[in-house]
Amino acid sequence: NSGKIFLLCSQTEGFPRTILQASSCGAFIISSAVGDIPQMIRHGENGNLVSPYNNIDRYCELITHAIENPGHRVSMAKQLQCEIHSSFSTQSGSRVWAEIFSKLNVKRLVG
């Protein structure tokens, strides 16, 4: 909970929940741009992405920049935290399920 920067250097990923978890604690995300991660993280807006995944020099640059610019880091971390809360909260999940069930009921009545 007290971490300031979360680093994910995976070669492959799907949709890693670790990013959701770290962001919910307010951590700034620096991640490889693999799998579905670029759908969550927009480089320079709500976190940072590294491509290719094994560009160690780029990770070091981004970590250094994040440490030296705490205001910018915190601002981007809060942006992602708000987006994740909006998209993955219990309320947003309930809306998705309600829409799914609504469509299923309509199809049953028509079919």
At 31-53, the pLDDT tens digits run 999 999 999 999 999 999 999 99
Are 32 and 11 in contact, with CB atoms under 8 Å apart?
yes
For 91-108, how does the pLDDT look when each residue is reduced to its tens digit (9 = 90+)?
A: 777 777 888 888 887 555
**Sign, CA torsion 6/12/15/17:** negative
- Predicted local distance difference test score (pLDDT) of residue 107: 56
Tell me what the mean pLDDT of segment 70-95 comes to.
Answer: 88
- The region, left, alpha or beta by phi > 0 then psi within -120 to 50, assigned to residue 89 is beta
- Asked whether residue 111 carries a pLDDT value surpassing 60, the answer given is no
